[in-house]
């Protein structure tokens, strides 16, 4: 297991970068506190200064003026080794050295820091395990003998090798196909649960920002901060037209991926019956008493089995075979996006189950549309207030 290191807070104060021979600064008077152990995403149009801002944190680019501290220490006062220990760096297309093996690539920073050979070897294996590459298979391969996704994994392993509290990631998953990209994102989130680094992540992709970010900074020209907030807050209430443009037209739908079924008022008033304790005739009687056309048959552990229409019951001999099986169901942990898909594939109510798969309620399209409406109203109220 990797050592669990909580990240360090990063502070940028009045940071400006003026490239030699240019008129306007690329980054102008940038101020931000990046909380320890969180993922902060920089998004914004091409050329707005995201990379310049990020690279000033590890001084790959020297600020023209201003201060940057990591865990309270002024980075301008740190030497190169101290900075390498504090900040890992991963970039698009992994940036691996083509003539180095996977192991040699991962060992670069520990080597520069003069770790003992044995310690470096152990660390390389540990990092490869961490990012899901079997050391016995991949240790001695060259980057060209790996897939794009595997190269990115090596890039992340290399960035983490010296166990820095801060990780800078510049479009690290920009060059891989959407499925691999989704997997790498999931893995980063899984790793982060364990490692709790402070991660600054640059992307063009707003959906990636929403998925990964504890907070998102939407940047405009010269790295001016248009909005710096949680994904939920930015989706619900974009601060201005530029942010709204970035969030895109599907903002309400994107919000469905942030909400869980447990956060909304789903119903728990379906008529349920446990088979085989009950008979079709009894169920029919109950349904007519309660004015229900549909009922849900559960098994002995109260897990949903079948939907039954009242008219199925006149000819049914057993509740175990009557009606139609429950298709897609969702749990209280599922996102509203999953719920919407289940509702559409079920053609009506989707069954909601608890942690042991037991029936807890149903959710329907009105619940989802009401939630979207509510989010829109909150958004409108927010815009009216600001
Ligand atoms: N070495 C340099 N010399 C002069 N100007 C530069 C240099 N590097 C970047 N710039 C300029 O600074 C501005 C910000 O560039 P930067 O690469 O930080 O933007 P970005 O938001 O990361 O862009 P992208 O999303 O396209 O990568 C741009 O106008 C760019 O042309």
Residues 230 and 353 in one domain: no
Total Cβ atoms within 10 A of residue 18: 15
CATH number for the domain that contains residue 313: 3.10.580.10
For the CA of 204, the nearest atom of ligand 1: 25
Query: What pLDDT shows up at residue 1?
Result: 41
CA 63 to centroid of ligand 1, rounded, Å: 14
Residues 243 and 291 in one domain: no
Q: How far is CA 9 from CA 69, 167, 199, 267, in A?
A: 8, 12, 10, 43
| pLDDT above 80: residue 257 | no
Q: Cβ neighbours of residue 42 under 8 Å, at least 6 residues apart?
A: 50, 53, 54, 200, 201, 202, 203, 217, 219
Total Cβ atoms within 10 A of residue 57: 24
Tally the residues of the chain: 386
- Which helix (H) or strand (E) segment is 21 a member of? none
CA 34 to centroid of ligand 1, rounded, Å: 22
Name the band, by pLDDT with cuts 50, 70 and 90, for residue 2.
very low
CATH number for the domain that contains residue 244: 3.40.50.300
Ligand 1 interacting residues, C-beta cut-off 6 A: 19, 22, 26, 44, 46-52
Last residue of a domain, one of 199, 222, 248: 248
Name the band, by pLDDT with cuts 50, 70 and 90, for residue 48.
very high
Q: By mean pLDDT, which of 40-49, 56-65, 183-192 is the weakest?
A: 183-192
Q: Cβ neighbours of residue 21 under 8 Å, at least 6 residues apart?
A: none
Look at the block and give the residue holding tokens 């446990």. 274
Select the highest-mean-pLDDT range: 81-85, 183-187, 196-200. 196-200
Q: By mean pLDDT, which of 1-10, 100-109, 133-142, 229-238 is the weakest?
A: 1-10
**Number of independent structural domains in the chain:** 2
Atom 7 of ligand 1, residue of closest alpha carbon = 19
Mean pLDDT, residues 248-256: 69
Supply the range of the domain harboring residue 226: 10-248
Sheet holding 350-353, edge to edge: 330-331, 350-353, 359-363
Residue at 227 is within a domain: yes
Residues 243 and 267 in one domain: no
| pLDDT above 70: residue 94 | no
Mean pLDDT, residues 116-130: 91
Residue at 1 is within a domain: no
CA 167 to centroid of ligand 1, rounded, Å: 21
β-pairing, 166-170 vs 198-202, is parallel
* Rg of the chain on CA atoms, in Å: 27
Residues 46 and 22 in one domain: yes
Mean pLDDT, residues 26-38: 96
Residue at 224 is within a domain: yes
Query: What pLDDT shows up at residue 172?
Result: 84
Residues 213 and 271 in one domain: no
Last residue of a domain, one of 186, 221, 248: 248
Structure confidence by residue, pLDDT tens digits, 305-362 = 999 998 898 888 888 888 999 988 888 888 888 888 888 888 788 999 988 889 999 9
Query: What pLDDT shows up at residue 4?
Result: 52
Name the band, by pLDDT with cuts 50, 70 and 90, for residue 230.
very high
CA 25 to centroid of ligand 1, rounded, Å: 10
Residues 241 and 271 in one domain: no
For the CA of 51, the nearest atom of ligand 1: 22
Residues 161 and 272 in one domain: no
Strands (E), the chain: 10-17, 27-34, 39-43, 65-70, 73-74, 87-91, 166-170, 198-202, 215-220, 224-229, 272-274, 294-298, 304-309, 324-325, 330-331, 350-353, 359-363
Query: What pLDDT shows up at residue 340?
Result: 86
CA 133 to centroid of ligand 1, rounded, Å: 34
């Amino acid at each position: 297991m990797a050592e669990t290191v909580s990240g360090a807070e990063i502070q940028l104060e009045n940071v400006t970068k003026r490239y030699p021979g240019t008129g306007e600064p690329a980054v102008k008077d940038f101020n931000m506190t990046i909380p320890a152990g969180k993922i902060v995403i920089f998004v914004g149009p091409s050329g707005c200064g995201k990379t310049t801002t990020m690279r000033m944190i590890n001084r790959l680019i020297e600020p023209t003026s201003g201060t940057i501290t990591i865990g309270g220490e002024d980075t301008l006062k740190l030497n190169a080794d101290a900075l390498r220990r504090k900040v890992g760096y991963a970039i698009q297309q992994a940036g691996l050295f083509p003539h180095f093996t996977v192991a040699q690539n991962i060992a670069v920073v520990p080597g520069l820091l003069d770790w003992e050979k044995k310690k470096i070897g152990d660390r390389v294996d540990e990092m490869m395990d961490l990012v899901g590459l079997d050391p016995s298979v991949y240790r001695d391969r060259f980057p060209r003998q790996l897939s794009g996704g595997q190269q990115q994994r090596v890039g992340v392993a290399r960035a983490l090798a010296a166990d820095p509290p801060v990780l800078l990631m510049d479009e690290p998953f920009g060059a891989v196909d959407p499925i691999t990209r989704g997997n790498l994102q999931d893995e980063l989130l899984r790793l982060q649960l364990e490692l709790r680094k402070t991660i600054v992540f640059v992307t063009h992709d707003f959906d990636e920002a929403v998925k990964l970010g504890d907070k998102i900074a939407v940047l405009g020209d010269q790295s001016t901060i248009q909005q710096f907030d949680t994904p939920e807050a930015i989706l619900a209430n974009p601060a201005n037209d530029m942010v709204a443009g970035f969030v895109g037209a599907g903002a309400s739908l994107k919000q469905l991926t942030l909400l869980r079924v447990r956060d909304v008022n789903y119903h728990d008033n379906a008529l349920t019956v446990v088979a085989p304790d009950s008979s079709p005739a009894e169920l029919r009687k109950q349904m007519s008493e309660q004015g229900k056309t549909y009922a849900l048959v559960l098994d002995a552990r109260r897990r949903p089995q079948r939907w039954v229409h009242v008219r199925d019951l006149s000819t049914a001999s057993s509740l175990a075979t009557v009606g139609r099986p429950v298709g897609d169901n969702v749990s209280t942990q599922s996102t509203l996006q999953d719920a919407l898909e289940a509702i559409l594939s079920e053609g009506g109510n989707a069954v909601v189950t608890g942690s042991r798969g037991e029936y807890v309620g149903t959710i329907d399209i009105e619940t989802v549309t009401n939630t979207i409406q509510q989010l829109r109203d909150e958004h409108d109220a927010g815009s009216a207030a600001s």
